[in-house]
Amino acid sequence: MAAGESMAQRMVWVDLEMTGLDIEKDQIIEMACLITDSDLNILAESGLTKAVKESTMTLQQAEYEFLSFVRQQTPPGLCPLAGNSVHADKKFLDKYMPQFMKHLHYRIIDVSTVKELCRRWYPEEYEFAPKKAASHRALDDISESIKELQFYRNNIFKKKTDEKKRKIMENGENEKTVS
């Protein structure tokens, strides 16, 4: 796989801590960003988390730092935003960091969606999923989300054996001939 292709498979994990969920009146008080490859290995971590906590950095400065970090790690328009219930973070990012969001793909990877599907479809396996510590710290939350998605990948989205692949192919062909 070429270097550009592997970079295109990366995921941009973001977690924001806000004073509330109203994008008109609440503020971002903490932010973190990690980059993983498609196998969920952490490749890079933004140093911005500590900087935001210990400074009076403006949102514009934070966006510039986030965007600079992500541009070094990902090609424009190809890598999705990832996180847990990341739609809430996305609303704030769309409003307050639009250039950062323009760099990302329009799709998102939301671990909470995977969690809900696994809870419904694979309840026995779901019982063993890692539990959240609920620290509500941006970097901790991202790390927990990555670990949770790794669990689902390794225990529920298992690689197919040759026999399973053959059955899938047969079923796919049968469905095509019926229609």
Tell me the catalytic residues.
136
DSSP state of 2: -
- The Cα–Cα gap between 86 and 50 comes to 21
**What DSSP line would sit under 74-115, residue for residue?**
S-TTTSPEEESSHHHHHHHHHHH-HHHHHHS-S-EEEHHHHH
Residues 48 and 65: beta-carbon distance below 8 Å: yes
Q: Dihedrals φ, ψ of 78, to 5°? A: -115, -25
**Secondary structure (3-state) at 69:** helix
User: Is beta strand 81-83 parallel, antiparallel or unpaired with respect to 108-110?
Assistant: parallel
Written as six digits, the tokens of 67 are 């965007």
